[in-house]
Amino acid sequence: MDEMDGLDVVACTKCADLVESRSRIVNGDGPEDADVLFVGEAPGANEDEEGVPFVGRSGDVLDVELADAGLSRDAIRITNCVRCRPPDNRDPRSEELANCRPYLEREIDLVDPEVVVTLGKVPGEHLLGRDLAVTNEAGTVERVELGGQARDVLVCLHPAATLYDASQKETFRETIAKAATMAGAEGGQSRLGDY
Ligand code: URA
């Protein structure tokens, strides 16, 4: 794939709107052989500025729960379905998801994680290939063919959901703990803080 250098997309002009709205392409972050690969929707303003996924408030929530589950952020890989910030933070369109899909599949192939964790409805539906009631289905695992190989996909809420609705924190926490178990992480740390 010419547009990619290893796991990184280095040049892409497939989505005209996103080429306009992005400051940069936001590639996945974290070890190339991570046991857990988290997949979000698309970069937001902070990610577009820094060039790293989940560095805003959602990322802070995720980091706290990862640490609590014994999974340091440095030990996981995190990426998005779409690598360029959509205008006005709108959801990525289906053709944009499709355009970016080969990059995501290649990343999944090369990282070869024990578990792929979808953060929110858009990545969940994109990878499971069906409608998803993410609040009801959070914490469930489905075996899915991705890039020609069967993968365990763990459905998770988007971290931002816990900011809008504190009652979702427990479900989010339990799902991250399940990801840690599936990845074989050992023990949890004491809580570093709350949000
Ligand atoms: N939300 C996402 O889905 N992805 C990010 O990178 C940041 C927030």
What confidence tens digit (pLDDT) does each residue in 40-88 have?
A: 999 999 999 999 999 999 999 999 999 999 999 999 999 999 999 999 9
Which of 24, 57, 100, 119 has the most ligand 1 atoms within 8 A of CB, as the residue to mutate?
Answer: 119
SS3 147: coil
Superfamily for domain range 4-186: Uracil-DNA glycosylase-like domain (3.40.470.10)
**Contact between residue 180 and residue 71 where contact means Cβ atoms under 8 Å apart:** yes
Given a cut of 80, whether residue 193 has pLDDT beyond it is no
Q: CB-based contacts of 133: which residues, under 8 Å, 6+ apart?
A: none
Q: How far is the CA of 42 from the centre of ligand 1 (A)?
A: 5
CA–CA dist 80, 145 (Å, integer) = 18
CA–CA dist 92, 72 (Å, integer) = 29
CA–CA dist 152, 64 (Å, integer) = 24
Residues with CB under 6 A from ligand 1: 40-44, 47, 53-54, 58, 80
* Domain definitions of the chain by residue range: 4-186
